[in-house]
Amino acid sequence: MTTHARATNPYAELLAIGAEIDSHEADLYVRATPETVKLVKNTGWGFTYFKSEIDGRLWLDVPFAFIPFWGKKPYREEHCTHLEKAWCDCDWCRVVRGGRGEGGVK
């Protein structure tokens, strides 16, 4: 069994070669080509294949490899549409409030 050190995250390398990428939260999606498959395999990160329901093409799902996600904290302004209220009853406010009562999150 061969093990690989995660010396580099595939995200930066994929950007450098101009690969077609997308993401969902922390998961990196990259269009499967011989070049991108080889690159991701060489970094040692695990991945799965999936066929896109949008474009019908084959993509790689590389869990936790979408670097921009890790530096981003959600702000209420990005999700809640009732900012004039301290809290509303939208899903985002209910989750963030977490039963802590009235207040604001920024």
Task: Per-residue pLDDT tens, the chain, 106 aa: give them.
Answer: 444 444 478 988 898 899 999 999 889 999 999 999 999 999 888 899 999 999 999 999 999 888 888 776 555 566 666 667 666 766 656 655 554 334 433 3
For 80-105, the DSSP string reads -S-TTSS--SSHHHHHHHTT--S---
Look at residue 5 and tell me if it is in a domain.
Answer: no
Together in a domain, 60 and 78: no
Distance CA 50, CA 24 (A): 14
Look at residue 20 and tell me if it is in a domain.
Answer: yes
Together in a domain, 83 and 52: no
Look at residue 39 and tell me if it is in a domain.
Answer: yes
Together in a domain, 61 and 92: no
In the chain, the number of structural domains is 2
For residue 19, give its domain range: 10-65
* Phi and psi angles of residue 28, each rounded to the nearest 5 degrees, phi first: -95, 130
Together in a domain, 48 and 15: yes
